[in-house]
Amino acid sequence: MSASRLTRFVDLPGGIDPQTALLRAQANTEAYRESAMALIDQAIDALVAAGPDVDARTAARLAESVRSLAGMFDLSVLEQSAGGLCDMIRALVERGAWDATAVRINVQALKIIRQHGDSEHLEEILDGLRRLSAKTAKGQS
Amino acid sequence: MGKHENTFRFQDASVLIVDENTGFMDLTAQILMGFGFRKLERRGLKHAEPAAASDPDLIILDPFPDLEAGLRLIEDHRRRQSANAPPAVVIVVTGHTPRPLIEQARRVGADYIVAKPFSANTLLDRILWSTSSVFANLASTEIDAEDAEDAEDDAYRASIQGATAALLQ
């Protein structure tokens, strides 16, 4: 029996090899970059606009959107900071204690990082966010 | 089978992509189109249930934020598939991969769990791996995919990865 339903599409006349497929996928990904950046900006703007009353589920969804899209385009500082926000939101939800200030600082940092580009000079901001997230997760003020 | 599978033509393979993040869903679709897939159906998790009538060859699904609904979708699909026919390939892609989720996803029938963000290389690797005879043997003995990667056919994996690693690193 075939391994899976995709097996029947292998080794057919007119097929492509992995190298060709990856080059095409890479080109398609790059063509999507501008749209992805716009979606990242929209998500950050939505987080900013939601303010302190944002519900955890919405905040998590928007932060995850920023994280995953940034990661697909090698925006590592933005990906890490959005990932930190995701982790912090999960920790706050698990503790049953929302910290609007900590969330707001993280959201503002996302905005700053996006405005100033993905640069190693933002490492200081990232360090500060990590410390804040760690303290928030432990319930310290 | 395995090492000779150097080419593929996925244009007639049907794909269901389920993701609440429409931007990421579009990006996944772009990557799959690069691989040659053309029959792509995209759904949000909330609207994925009516897909019961469809019969995709490949399902790529992010179960968040409604984990229960996402896993039920996989389970329902597995329940419907014929025992005598080759199985569809189910890949869970998600930004949050705690161990309980991985175990639950495998229990309901996911073949792979891929963390977001992922490289096109990683996704293609999983797709091609699912076409190999090793995949069938392991599926039939209910050994999970991670163990399979450790245990079997390293040469086949290396042939795919070796050919492609330089492209996306």
Task: Read off the pLDDT of residues B135-162 as tens digits, 9 standing for 90 and up.
Answer: 655 543 333 334 334 433 433 343 334 3
Q: How far B158 CA lies from chain A's nearest CA (Å)?
A: 12
Closest CA to B29 of A86, A114, A75, A72: A72
Average pLDDT of the residues in B73-97: 91
Helices (H), chain A: 18-31, 33-50, 56-72, 76-95, 100-116, 123-138
Partner-chain residue, chosen from A15, A26, A90, that has the shortest CB–CB distance to B168: A26
Residues of chain B with pLDDT > 70: what percent? 72
C-beta of residue A110 within 8 angstroms of C-beta of residue A78: yes
- Is this complex's ipTM strictly greater than 0.90? no
Residues of B in contact with A15 (CB under 8 A): 7-9, 36
The structural domains of chain A, with segments of one domain joined by +, span 34-137
Across chain A, mean pLDDT equals 89
Helices (H), B3-66: 22-34
CB contact under 8 A, B136 and A31: no
Any idea which residue has 């890949």 for tokens? B91
Q: Which pLDDT does position B159 carry in this prediction?
A: 35
What is the band of B3 on the pLDDT scale with cuts at 50, 70, 90? very low
Q: Which pLDDT does position B142 carry in this prediction?
A: 36
Would residue B153 be called left, alpha or beta, if left means φ above 0 and alpha means ψ between -120 and 50 degrees? left
Q: Which pLDDT does position B167 carry in this prediction?
A: 30
- Mutation target to probe the A interface, by most A beta carbons within 10 A, among B1, B7, B114 is B7
Residues of chain B with pLDDT > 90: what percent? 56
Rg (CA), chain A: 19
C-beta of residue A112 within 8 angstroms of C-beta of residue A82: no
